[in-house]
Structure 1
Amino acid sequence: MQKLRHTLFMLFFFAIVFAQGQGYELLKQRIDSVVTEAIQAEAFPGCVIYASLADSMIYLKSFGHHTYDSTRRVAVNDIYDLASITKVAGGTMALMKLYEDGRISLDDPIGDYIDKLGRKVGRVTFREALAHQGGLYPWIPYHSEVKRRNGKFRSKTISTNLDEEYNYPLGDSLYLHGEFYSKIKKMIRKSELSEDKTYRYSGLFFYLIPELIKNLTDTLYQDYLSAHFYDPLGVRTLTFNPREKFSLHQIVPTEIDTFFRMEKIHGNVHDEGAIMMKGISANAGLFSNAEDIAALFQMLLNDGKLDSVQYLSQQTIRLFTTAQYPNNENRRGLGFDKPLLEYDSIRSSVAKSASFESYGHTGYTGTLAWADPANDLIFIFLTNRVYPSRTYRAIYDLNVRPTIHQFLYDYLDGVLGENTEPVPNSK
């Protein structure tokens, strides 16, 4: 009987492999068609797409060029600015570890851990801040807040001249004065706070996380992430300030800045707040290639374990990737984004077939990282849709990311059939 069961399993497995081969060519053709149309419509100059199923990569391909001058083709190991994926791949990861170690309580006010936030902002809890339910103001243009009415920068902020005081290059012709974070923190403290506790997306709390990590662990935020996650995972390109470690040829340019740095942003973080924190924040700042950010998400999908190393508990991951306020029309987990509570093909960044268990995050630069435990599927989309300008929005008009994501689910349906069990998991 045992031999018979083994034979039936092998027949089932090889049937899947055969069906997979037949459907795979159609999957490739569909993705090629959508991406080709998108590049022609100037949705982005190029991209890298990755997908894995049951811990095995099923798709990895690069398209197009770094920029529209077509001088350098995109390679599958090229490094992109992840933008707000940093919120989950950086800040949220650190808080998950602190929570698991009993260093923070999710319903404590953040002001108990970070001083000088004031009575308004300081009383927002970790749970509220991470689920964007705390009434925090969405965004502060830190770069313009440091300018006088005549357009000149205020003293002790930014200068066009490099000297001992203004010694951190924001670009080729702008230099930051010493430590700027205290000014960012002051702006956050003085920002408007809504008393209406409903969903309101805000990045402000994530600028504060590096200070929180330092306060609780006496370790720099970036070192904490490297020690507990990035180094043991072996994800070398998942890093801040990549131009310090990698050739600019491997890093894809992000945008031609026409209002602040006035130059092509290449190897420096795109986010104006993060660059004024010297490239290191929890709101934005991380760069990566597709396989490295996928490895981090694979660890999460594997209930916190990868290559025999347990990074986080299954319970912690489930808590942080579960919607916290669904009865208040808020789909968000703790840090992680979730599918819309009611699918809308115009507003959604992911496929209609993505399960409610799935989670991930988008990035302003056009990036997306998404994991679906119900289907054991990971989807990574890296691009620079803001090149040459953030006014380029065809990636949304063409629904590029959710369309490709849906192709992957259609492919799985074709392999598995509507009434069969999922592919045997190799984990």
Structure 2
Amino acid sequence: MNTILRTIQSRWRTAAGVAVAGIAPVILAMAKTPPASAVAAAPLVAVHAPVAATAATLKPRPAAKPLARAPLTRAVDAVRAEVKRGAFPGAALAAGRGATTSLIEGVGTTTWKGATVDPERTVYDLASLTKVVATTTAAMLLYEDGRLDLDAPVSRYLPEFSGGNKDDVTIRDLLTHTSGLPAGTGVRGSTADEKLASLIRTPLRRAPETRVEYSDVGFVTLFAALEKAAGEPVEQMLERRVYGPLGMASTGYAPGADCARCAPSWQTADGTPVRGKVHDPTARALGGVAGNAGLFSTVADLSRFAAMLAGGGELEGVRVLKPETIDTFSRRQPGADNRALGWETPNADGTGAAGKSMSPRAFGHTGFTGTSLWVDPEHGTWAVLLANRTFDAHASNRIQKLRRTVHAYVTESAEEAPDSLLAD
């Protein structure tokens, strides 16, 4: 943990005048602002290594057909209506098909009297989206490398995770929230290392693989195991192999209080907005770097991440993951309700974030602060919605319905503008 804490601050320094190498501009059918590559001159994170040194470079796939405009306009209107209602100060959303971004839009402000949301620059606290954009993605990379066995006991990688039935808990169990660990627990200790150790010592609530219980403790434990398997800080590996090659220059942990373009996800008792500090108390106790929460990003960055997933692990000629790895991790697991490996899949009754419009093969995740990212392989579509609904003490619970509404409009826009390339 100390290694991570020594390196995270350098990720967020401004490097004015530096462009991200090897990244072509995305196609914006509706954007009112320049593409991400045009604003990369002032990234939040350190300059990335050349793409060729970090990911396979391939011939770019043909551009997908843009989504129909009218339903996407209605999606923006739905978000704007929630801002006007007072559900949250503002939001950023993006949607597309394959590598083609058809919508990227900011609505409202970062606080009730703050700056206008800029979809290219406004940074949001991703909350539990960290579980997939960071932790699960790291597991996918290590699985591809042959350094992570999904059915191996966690104790193979993290010997201190032992006692009781813990020796029976596998990496797969942590990914599917069937480990038997509780949702959360008290954090004890005075240093980040001591606090992490206390979480890893958390006893099981029940035998593994007997019930799904969404567990932050499980993903904190998984993050620690992945770091042992990787032999380096997880966030360092992700920067080198995912965020850097994809040009996600505004994605990382612990931006800090001086992050002027961070939308605050909470405020102090006297009403002072808190910027760049994670809302989740467990991640905060660990210094802001954790497997359950702590990652920050923009909707522009996450649109590139989602497009990579929709493209079978490749974006604009840069291969990050193999298609078969994405398929393995995004498929619903037996005995795990709607859980895939790290990812969620649509609820059968349509009450989840995906709603009723997405196909059964869709996968995604949400975050408590008001964030979500979903990909639908059947339609080739993806959607990202970022908000700071927790900025007020009484967070609005309207975000889940809004997610379903946005996803329905994205699916409708794909159906109105079918793409023959999806058959390839």
Instruction: Work out whether the TM-score is over 0.5.
Output: yes
* Corresponding letter in the other structure for 2:421: P
- Aligned to 1:410, which of 403, 409, 412? 412
- Aligned to 1:311, which of 316, 320, 323? 320
Corresponding position: 1:202 with 2:215: yes
Instruction: Note the 1:215-294 alignment, pairs <5 A.
Output: 215-243=228-256, 248-258=259-269, 264-294=273-303
Corresponding position: 1:134 with 2:179: yes
Larger radius of gyration: 1
State the TM-score, normalizing by the size of structure 2: 0.78
Instruction: Note the 1:20-99 alignment, pairs <5 A.
Output: 24-25=69-70, 27-28=72-73, 30-68=74-112, 70-77=113-120, 78-99=122-143
Is the Cα contact below 8 Å between 1:361 and 1:369 reproduced in 2? Answer: yes
- Aligned to 1:191, which of 181, 197, 203? 203
1:113 is matched with 157
Is the Cα contact below 8 Å between 2:97 and 2:380 reproduced in 1? Answer: yes
Give the secondary structure class of the aligned counterpart of 1:37. Answer: helix
- Aligned to 1:333, which of 336, 340, 344? 340
Deviation at 1:423, TM superposition (A): 4.1
> What per-residue deviation string (whole Å, max 9, x for no partner) do you get for residues 258-315 of structure 1?
5xx9963311111111122211111111111112112122222222222323222221
Give the secondary structure class of the aligned counterpart of 2:101. Answer: strand
Change (3 A) 1:284 1:411: same
1:388 is matched with 392
Task: Report how many residues are paired.
Answer: 357
CA distance in 2 between counterparts of 1:359 and 1:336 reads 6
CA distance in 2 between counterparts of 1:382 and 1:38 reads 13
CA distance in 1 between counterparts of 2:306 and 2:98 reads 12
CA distance in 2 between counterparts of 1:392 and 1:24 reads 29
* Corresponding letter in the other structure for 1:371: V
Corresponding position: 1:363 with 2:367: yes
Deviation at 1:249, TM superposition (A): 2.7
* Corresponding letter in the other structure for 2:306: F
Change (3 A) 1:45 1:317: same
Give the secondary structure class of the aligned counterpart of 2:132. Answer: helix
CA distance in 2 between counterparts of 1:192 and 1:365 reads 27
Deviation at 1:393, TM superposition (A): 2.0
Corresponding position: 1:424 with 2:421: yes
Change (3 A) 1:55 1:46: same
Change (3 A) 1:190 1:414: closer
Deviation at 1:121, TM superposition (A): 3.1
> What per-residue deviation string (whole Å, max 9, x for no partner) do you get for residues 154-192 of structure 1?
xx62xxxxxxxxxxxxxxxxxxxxx32333332442334
Give the secondary structure class of the aligned counterpart of 1:233. Answer: coil
Any gaps of 5 or more consecutive residues in structure 2?
1-64
1:4 is matched with none
Is the Cα contact below 8 Å between 1:54 and 1:423 reproduced in 2? Answer: no
Change (3 A) 1:54 1:300: closer
2:168 is matched with 123
Is the Cα contact below 8 Å between 2:265 and 2:279 reproduced in 1? Answer: yes
Give the secondary structure class of the aligned counterpart of 1:354. Answer: coil
Is the Cα contact below 8 Å between 2:97 and 2:307 reproduced in 1? Answer: no
CA distance in 2 between counterparts of 1:390 and 1:379 reads 26
1:152 is matched with none
1:151 is matched with none
Deviation at 1:324, TM superposition (A): 1.0
Is the Cα contact below 8 Å between 1:44 and 1:395 reproduced in 2? Answer: no
Deviation at 1:194, TM superposition (A): 1.4
Change (3 A) 1:400 1:209: same
> What per-residue deviation string (whole Å, max 9, x for no partner) do you get for residues 81-111 of structure 1?
1111111111111111111111121111101
State the TM-score, normalizing by the size of structure 1: 0.78
Change (3 A) 1:423 1:45: farther
Deviation at 1:136, TM superposition (A): 1.5
* Corresponding letter in the other structure for 2:276: G
CA distance in 2 between counterparts of 1:100 and 1:71 reads 43
Deviation at 1:26, TM superposition (A): 5.2
Is the Cα contact below 8 Å between 1:83 and 1:363 reproduced in 2? Answer: yes
CA distance in 1 between counterparts of 2:110 and 2:158 reads 40
